[in-house]
Amino acid sequence: MYTATELIPSVCDIISRLLPSTEVPLTEATSLPRLQGFDSLFIANLLESLETLLEIEIEPALLLPEAFETPQSVAELFVRSQNQANSK
Amino acid sequence: MWIHERVFERAWQQPERTAILLHQEQWTYRDLATKAETLARSFLRLFEPGTRVALHMTKSPQTVALMLACLRAGMTYIPIDPRCPVERRDLMLEDCQAKILVLDKFTCPNWCAQPSAISSLALVISPQKIPLAAVTQLSFEELLATDTPGTEGDPYPTIMANTLAYLLYTSGSTGIPKGVQITHGNARAFVDWAYEQFDLSIQDRVAVHAPLHFDLPVFDIYVGLAKGATLYLVDEQTALFPEAMYRFLFTQSITVLYAVPSALTALLKRSSLRHQNLPALRYLLYAGEEFHPVALRTLLSKMLKARVFNLYGPVETNVVTYLEIQPEYLDLPRIPLGHPTSTTNLLLVGEHLQIVEEGEGEIVISGPGVTPGYLNQPEQTEATRCMLLVGGSEQICYRTGDFARRDSDGLLHFLGRRDSLIKTRGFRVEIGDVEAALLKLTGVDEGAVFALPHTIYTHLLYGFVAVRARKNASEAFLLQELRERLPSYMCPQRLFLRQELPKTSTGKLARRELQDELKSLLLENKEEVSKIVHSN
């Protein structure tokens, strides 16, 4: 079990690897849609990387724009999925 | 009838029906036709027919009205990708010599932050003033207000088949985007065929999914509106997220969808379509890249009553072949291209341009749909042309660069390409365009780009650069710089830095060696390579 706060560094690491940038380091509140390179392929790669790392598959119904606003919201998406999986 | 005339004629037959919807904004056919004609008259009061109008805008009813207005006024519109990097955007604007530039709330801030002095500009229509000197600036409302009473009788210019209707920019092999000129005659050839082929009606709800700088929306807008259907504009956020797209299609009961296979595959894998279906969909059209038969079979099972069509054709000709998907095609390794459309003369030619009746050859097109060429690039235009005897007369033909086989039933099967133009996520990319951009990066001496086949995205790009002159160079620095020059779909997934790139004995870049190295590098990362199709 992990919390969103614990997940944020991993989320930021993966984003930095997928969209290498020398801009100000990513924080939990960085706006992802404003990053250059934020496109369908980036979203798919980010999801796949996190799903592999955390060994969890996100329900499609949760994959909405608001879940990809910031590293914080991405982490919360995975925590929500983890909690749903555990409650089943 | 020209493509815009079909729309205006329909508009005055059913003025109160809804023409376009975007979120809460709803325009009737009367709204659309009235605004488009007012804009056309306003433009004509300020500029001559033939003027070029750059539309740096997101999808909206206003954008569609402006497109129709330009056609009505005999002017040429140029849709520019709203997310296009500044340098590339300016290259296009300088190339097309647009006199009028139209911005919206989304693109205006870019111009405020990074103003560019485009030499040809005379009028900017923008929701707020941008820092451009010596250029008249008006808001959309101010422009509409210039249509004063008493001027309604202004005659519209006569449109000819060779009058330029719109310009669509595509990747160019030399690093300069190519402006594909589409005349009214070209556009009409496609719309006339599609109008007859697809029995859309006023009951239909057509999703405008692809960006407007693509050629797919030509069908949605001009055929959809000519048939009296309602257009449902898909905003960028919705198009980006498969689940949002699924909900949009489901809740709006969309009946007609025209999209690229990458987007449809994403819908299948990453939306509730996995467990649900789209019962309202009547027509699913796809184009832009190949659809893997396995994914297509799954998708078909979700479309309870939809007829599915594979449409093929480069932007230079729009659709030239079509195929209604039948179950037997799903057992083939590749979905066939189909048969030529009624307005297309399609030939297969051999290496010496000899016509191949049965067997394999390059697809060559003639007929009213073929572009007159690339703007300001006569050599590039010439390189894609050949003269062939068609129906007893010599005709200028467009060489697609795509190879196909015609089977004994006359069905065309795609085989591959002859050059370095590739597809990724439905976008067309010239490898040379990306390599040219790499060479502009600070300190980069050499660059090589490879496209590896991919089961979902058709291809993914990877690059190597030699950075002898640049100390402290990093992949992050270079990719960031590259993303400021190229749209994201043209940027390689990874950029591998080297002191120098390997050469053959004749001093050329050893591409085979680099490609082998790339495959080894990617194999080290099993996740990354899992969907890459291994080929020679």
**Total domains, chain A:** 1
Mean pLDDT of B397-410: 94
What residues have CB less than 8 Å from B269, skipping those under 6 apart?
Answer: B242, B456
Adjacency order of strands within the sheet including B164-170: B136-138, B123-125, B100-103, B52-56, B76-79, B164-170, B178-183, B373-374
Chain B residue whose CA is closest to A67: B241
Cβ pair B214, B236 in contact under 8 A: no
Alpha-carbon gap, residue A15 to A67, rounded angstroms: 14
**Confidence class of residue B530 from pLDDT cuts 50, 70 and 90?**
very low
Q: Is B339 helix (H, G, I), strand (E, B) or coil?
A: strand
Q: Is the pLDDT of residue B370 over 90?
A: yes
pLDDT, residue B286, reads 96
B59-83, pLDDT tens digit by residue? 999 999 999 999 999 999 999 999 8
Q: Give CA–CA dist A28/A74, Å, rounded.
A: 9
Contact state of B271 with A68 under an 8 Å Cβ cutoff: no
Quick: pLDDT tens for A5-64.
999 999 998 998 888 776 668 899 999 998 888 988 899 889 989 998 898 989 999 999
Q: Is the pLDDT of residue B419 over 80?
A: no
Q: Is residue B395 helix, strand or coil?
A: strand
Q: From edge to edge, which strands make up the β-sheet containing B494-498?
A: B446-454, B458-466, B494-498
Distance of alpha carbon B181 from alpha carbon B480, whole angstroms: 32
pLDDT value at position B355?
Answer: 92
Q: What is the least distance, in Å, from the CA of B368 to any CA of chain A?
A: 35
What CATH number has the domain bearing residue A17?
1.10.1200.10
Domains belonging to chain B, first-starting first, are 3-17+24-184 (3.40.50.980), 421-529 (3.30.300.30)
Select from A39, A40, A55 the residue whose CB has the most chain B CBs within 10 Å, as the one to mutate to test that interface: A40
Chain B interface residues (partner A, CB cutoff 8 A): 85, 237-238, 240-244, 246, 262-263, 266, 270-274, 425, 456-457, 460, 474-477, 479-480, 483-484, 488-489, 491, 493, 527
- Edge to edge, what strands does the sheet with B205-208 contain? B25-28, B18-22, B230-233, B205-208, B256-259, B283-286, B307-312, B321-324, B339-340
Cβ of A21 within 8 Å of Cβ of B241? The answer is no
CB of A43 within 8 Å of a chain B CB? The answer is yes
Neighbours of B303 (CB within 10 A): 18
Q: Which residue segment(s) compose the domain that A11 sits in?
A: 4-87
pLDDT at B155: 74
Global confidence as pTM: 0.90
ipTM of the complex: 0.90
pLDDT tens digits, one per residue of B168-186: 999 988 888 999 999 999 9
